[in-house]
Structures are given as structure tokens and as C-alpha cells.
Amino acid sequence: MRTGPAVGHEGIFHEAAFYASDEEFLAVVLPFLQGGVAAGEPTVSIFGGHRQQLIRTALGAGSDVVFIDGGAHYRRPAAAIRRHREMLAGYVAGGATQIRITGDVPHPGVGVPWEWWARYEAAANEVYAEFPMYGLCPYDTRTAPLEVLDDVRRTHTHVVTADGQRQRSATYHAPRDFLATAVATVPDPVEARPPGCELSDPLPAHARAAVADLQRVAALGEDELNGLLLSVSEAVTNAMIHGRPPVRVRAWAEPSRIVVAVTDGGPGPADPAAGLMPAGGPGGLGLWMAHQLCAYVSLWRDADGFTIRLIAENPTL
């Protein structure tokens, strides 16, 4: 049985909250968590250090809330979706009729590109639709840019305030409508320079070799380099098979980073959520693999056609 504002609702109940202080954060999150525990529902908190500690301190020892490190969980959207779906399926198999999850979705205010997380927030309304999930996504208005807050309102069906007032989002867009519009894609600063390599209509093996040659500048870790090379191969193969000529590969390198842009003359995948799930029509599996393996992936369309940007970088300690 569903509880709280999700009573009578089927599938995911996707709610956003806005706060401007630690006190407002707790005023939103604590009732959500406490309500889930009181109802005997699986209740999960996925935040980074400071906010997670605020919650732990406020709840005290012995809470039945499940705590997951948000920094690790929200490294990549496709991986977060996979983990969420596995977790939700496990709880449902155990008899849960509602699962509450609240977490800290990254954005530029904390130094993380937004485009693929905006796609995540929109796609969540579809990829979790089969589960009785009550999701709460709090955003700090002190750090989240205005365009992010606007996208949050467009991707969540409901908004709740620190004083407990809840309303439907007046600007909510259905996932496919939101994803079909261009989420702002900001060029990587390295793209202002001439590329370290530029290829026209290369075979996947030639593209891999050209990008691998930039390792002399980047000195990526083995896993990061191999993941990028596999993603480049998949992107070029998709462009050759599913896109339109010409196929252009450009790559830039700097210490600890390589940025690759693969462009073809076609419109890109028909499914605007491609890459976030291991399906989505032609080329969907390759895009999903890239989203799992690269530090960042962005997709966009312009007068030149469809471009996928792949970024590999050494993790910071």
C-alpha cells in the first residue's frame, strides 16, 4: 500500500524540493525518511558527506534508514539507473509496496556537468515507472544555477517546500517531450584549441589508434583509456551504420584528460533517452556502454548533424 502523498499513485512519484540552509534541508528530508520508516517501507538516503552526516545526526543511532554514499552512487547516470533498478527490484521481490529514496543529484553548482543529469532526471519518470518508488530530489538554491532549477521543475511532477507545502509542478514536461528539446550542452574548454587529431570517415580501428596516440599527453589510467577506446569504437560504428556521412572524429588531450567528439550527418538516435538504458533501438547498447565507461558523455544535434562527446579523465583523489 502506498503512503504519504503517493497514496493512490502507480509507479514512481517523483518530487523535487528546494532549500537554502541546512535547517531547510532537514525540514524537507527528515519527514520523508521518518514517514517511510514509520510505515515499514524500505527507506534510502543517498547523499554526500555533509548532508548525509546532517541526517545521521538528526535521526540518531539505530535508525532503520539505509545510507548509501551519494558520491559513489551518482558518478554516472546510467550506472545510477542500473543500481536503482537492481535495488528497487530487490525490495519489490521482498514484498515492498513502496520504496522511498532521496538523494543528491549532481549539477554544475558542485562542479559537475548538468546535461546528462538533466536527462537522468527526465528519464527517471520512465525507467522507474514499473516500481512503487517515492523519490525526493532536494536541490540547494544557494549552489544550483537557475537553469538547473528550471529543468528540475520541468522533470519532477511535484515540488515540496521546507514548510511542507506540496504542489504539482506547473512546468512539468513528460520525459520524451523534455528529452526531445535541447538541454544546454556546454563545450569543454579544451575544444577551443585545435584538436590533437581530426579524422574523416575513419574505420573504428583507425579512430581508436588515433585517440590512443594522445595517451602520450594524457597519461590516463589503464581502465580510463580502455573504456574510452571502446566507447570511441562504438560511437564510430554507430555513426557509420546508423548515421549519415560524413563521419568526423576530433580529439583533444591534456594531462589526465582526453575529449573526443564523434559527429555524423544524421539526426542521432530516435530514442532521446538513448544511453541511459541498455536498449533504446539501434546503437542503444553501444551508447549505454559509453555512459558506463566514460567520465562524461553528452549528446547534441545542430546544423552539422549529431555529435556524441566522450570524456575520459583520471579520477581525483
* Chain segment 23-59, per-residue pLDDT in tens: 999 999 999 999 999 999 999 999 998 999 999 999 9
Give the per-residue pLDDT at 304: 86
Q: Domain ends where: 139, 155, 180?
A: 180
Give the per-residue pLDDT at 313: 94
Q: Domain ends where: 180, 209, 231?
A: 180
CA end-to-end span of the chain, whole Å?
A: 44
- How far apart, in whole angstroms, are the C-alpha atoms of residue 253 and residue 190? 8
* Same domain? 221 vs 272: yes
User: How much of the chain, in percent, has pLDDT values that exceed 70?
Assistant: 97
* Same domain? 29 vs 91: yes
* Same domain? 79 vs 201: no
What confidence category does residue 284 fall into, taking pLDDT thresholds of 50, 70 and 90?
low
Give the per-residue pLDDT at 317: 57
* Same domain? 19 vs 79: yes
Q: Domain ends where: 140, 155, 180?
A: 180
* Same domain? 155 vs 22: yes
| Residue 185 placed within a domain | no
* Same domain? 302 vs 235: yes
Query: Which range has the worst mean pLDDT, 21-35, 64-78, 214-228, 264-278?
Result: 264-278
* Same domain? 158 vs 51: yes
Give the per-residue pLDDT at 280: 52
Largest CA distance in the chain: 61
User: What are 308's strand-pairing partners?
Assistant: 262, 299
* Same domain? 132 vs 274: no
* Same domain? 163 vs 212: no
In the numeric block, the cell 539526426 is attached to 267
Query: Which range has the worst mean pLDDT, 11-15, 123-127, 143-147, 277-281?
Result: 277-281
- Residue range of the domain that includes 148: 4-180
* Same domain? 34 vs 130: yes
Number of Cβ within 10 Å of residue 130's Cβ equals: 14
| Residue 124 placed within a domain | yes
Contact between residue 106 and residue 139 where contact means Cβ atoms under 8 Å apart: no
* Same domain? 257 vs 159: no
What confidence category does residue 15 fall into, taking pLDDT thresholds of 50, 70 and 90?
very high
Nearest to 74 by CA among 29, 114, 126: 114
Instruction: Please compute the mean of the pLDDT values over residues 223-248 and round it to a whole number.
Output: 95
Give the per-residue pLDDT at 270: 72
Instruction: Please compute the mean of the pLDDT values over residues 93-109 and round it to a whole number.
Output: 95
Give the per-residue pLDDT at 88: 97
- Give the CATH number, domain containing residue 228: 3.30.565.10
Nearest to 3 by CA among 41, 49, 33: 41
* Same domain? 71 vs 214: no
* Chain segment 174-221, per-residue pLDDT in tens: 988 887 776 667 788 999 999 999 999 999 999 999 999 999 999 999
Over 60: is that where the pLDDT of 151 sits?
Answer: yes
| Residue 135 placed within a domain | yes
When divided into structural domains, the chain yields a total of 2
Query: Which range has the worst mean pLDDT, 5-14, 88-97, 230-239, 283-292?
Result: 283-292
| Predicted TM-score of the model (pTM) | 0.85
Query: Which range has the worst mean pLDDT, 140-144, 165-169, 285-289?
Result: 285-289
| Residue 211 placed within a domain | yes
Contact between residue 214 and residue 307 where contact means Cβ atoms under 8 Å apart: no
Contact between residue 84 and residue 128 where contact means Cβ atoms under 8 Å apart: yes
Give the per-residue pLDDT at 1: 84
- Give the CATH number, domain containing residue 62: 3.40.50.300
Run of H or E residues at 92: helix 77-93
Over 60: is that where the pLDDT of 282 sits?
Answer: no
